[in-house]
Structure 1
Amino acid sequence: MPGLIVVLTMFALCSIVLAGQLTGRAKVINTDTVEINRTRVRLWGIDAPDKSQMCRDINGNPYRCGLRAVRDLEGFIAEREVSCLSVLQDESGRTIATCSADGMDVGEWLVRNGLAFDQTQSSTGPYRAAQSAADRAGLGLWSGSFAVPSLYRACIRLGGRPASCSDDANAHP
């Protein structure tokens, strides 16, 4: 019986924390998710538009900001090796980590270029300074208007359509 308890305890710990590092070529799945060695990794600390999300540019014209962010991330990662540290699983079983390419934090790169947001939305969030810099410079999403990704997803869950859930021309004047 004590041996079974030890095995179950070890299994529980392994389900929470995986190997401390995951490294390899990354395939971009979505703006906040990459796949390395057949493991999907959600980038820690950011919230980013989904591929189907629309935004408005500086002239008020709609564009697929989520898809543009995915393409920009693909260009940034390109053929670089991506290394993810502090790999863990959340309560839903998703693998979450802080990842870098050539020493640059991928989450910070996304936020600094206006392609994602500091997920905490607090003044002390890990990427808050990068988000403020992108906002001040009018980069990426900050050059026009957008619906915050979490609100977009909530609208979709309630049965909204991508075009109507995305359209928030007054979200960021």
Structure 2
Amino acid sequence: MREIGLIAAAFCTAILATPAFAADLTGTATVIDGDTLEVHGQRIRLHGIDSPESAQLCQDAAGKDWRCGQQAALALSDRIARRPVSCEVKDTDRYGRSVAACSVAGESLNAWMVSQGWAMAYRQYSTDYVGAEATARAARAGIWAGTFQPPWEWRTAKRNGDKPQAANQSRPAPAAAPSAAPSSGCQIKGNINSKGERIYHVPGGRFYDQTQIDTGSGERWFCSEDEARSAGWRRSER
């Protein structure tokens, strides 16, 4: 009996020590900005994406300033309309907001905002939307049509009391140069395609030579196929 009591006590202690996240949320949403919602009075930060701040300006293809932060929020509001939003809570941030992947009628709002060029993939916290960002950038959609300062840099400048860069001085961060294989024994290329799919290519494969690896975008090299599969990549079909 004493052993059972000790096990029960340890189990309760483990539960209390586990961080408590808010329950998943479903309901009518109010859009706060391009990456923040409010459902049932609970603020929700969209996981893995970063949208221009409400007061932030970008520059369009003609060189004219426009309120990209405001337009991002309006785009999200229009996409949701009056439909109920379902949010899968993944974490709680330092401001007490739930961090979640949200959807409407089965469509990911996080992915949609990035794919339409209204937000960037927030690589510091997730690489889930790197593929969607590549699609938006290639199409020059939303903020990618011109120039802008990444939202996290804009916030840092504001916090430090610096004047945020003028739109005509800002440039999207260039893609990192292709990364060389770390060693002769690690030749398998883990690539993330435009759909966000993680696919690995082995030497001799049809697309092996033309595939470039950008480790800054979450891509990587593998030393074996088992390692690649264990990390969640699948082998190229060609």
Q: Same fold (TM over 0.5)?
A: yes
Map 1:1-173; keep pairs closer than 5 Å: 10=15, 12-13=17-18, 16-19=20-23, 21-120=24-123, 125-161=127-163, 164-172=164-172
Per-residue deviation, 1:73: 0.6
Unpaired runs of 5+ in structure 1? none
Taking the aligned partners of 1:77 and 1:8, their CA distance within structure 2 comes to 41
Q: Distance in 1 between matches of 2:47 and 2:113?
A: 12
Q: From the superposition, tell whether residues 45 and 60 of structure 1 become closer, same or farther in structure 2 (CA, over 3 Å).
A: same
Partner Cα distance (2:11, 2:95) in 1 = 24
Task: Describe the shift of the 1:83–1:114 C-alpha distance in structure 2 as closer, same or farther (beyond 3 A).
Answer: same
Residues 40 and 117 of structure 1, relative CA distance in 2, 3 Å threshold: same
Q: Does structure 2 conserve the Cα–Cα contact (< 8 Å) formed by 1:53 and 1:166?
A: no
Amino acid of the structure 1 residue aligned with 2:26: T
Runs (4 or more) in structure 1 with deviation over 6 Å come to 2-8
Q: Aligned-pair RMSD on alpha carbons?
A: 2.5
Q: Distance in 2 between matches of 1:91 and 1:10?
A: 21
Describe the superposition over 1:63-90 as per-residue Cα deviations: whole angstroms up to 9, x where unpaired.
Answer: 0100010011110011011000134313
Identity of aligned residues (%): 35
SS state of the match for residue 61, structure 2?
Answer: coil
After superposition, the Cα gap between the structure-2 partners of 1:89 and 1:170, relative to the gap in structure 1 and judged at 3 Å, is: closer
Instruction: Provide the rounded CA distance (Å) in 2 between the counterparts of 1:74 and 1:33.
Output: 11
Taking structure 2 as the reference length, the TM-score comes to 0.63
For residues 112 and 166 of structure 1, the distance between their equivalents in structure 2, rounded to whole angstroms, comes to: 25
Q: What is the SS of the residue equivalent to 1:16? A: coil
Residues 70 and 134 (structure 1 numbering): CA distance in 2 closer, same or farther, change over 3 Å?
same
Deviations 1:8-60 (A, max 9, x none): 765554x53222x2000100011110000110000000011100000000100
Asked which structure has the greater RCO (Cα within 8 Å, sep 6+), the reply is 1
Which one-letter code corresponds to 2:46 in the other structure? Answer: L
Unaligned runs of 5+ in 2: 1-5, 175-238
Q: Which is helix-richer, 1 or 2? A: 1
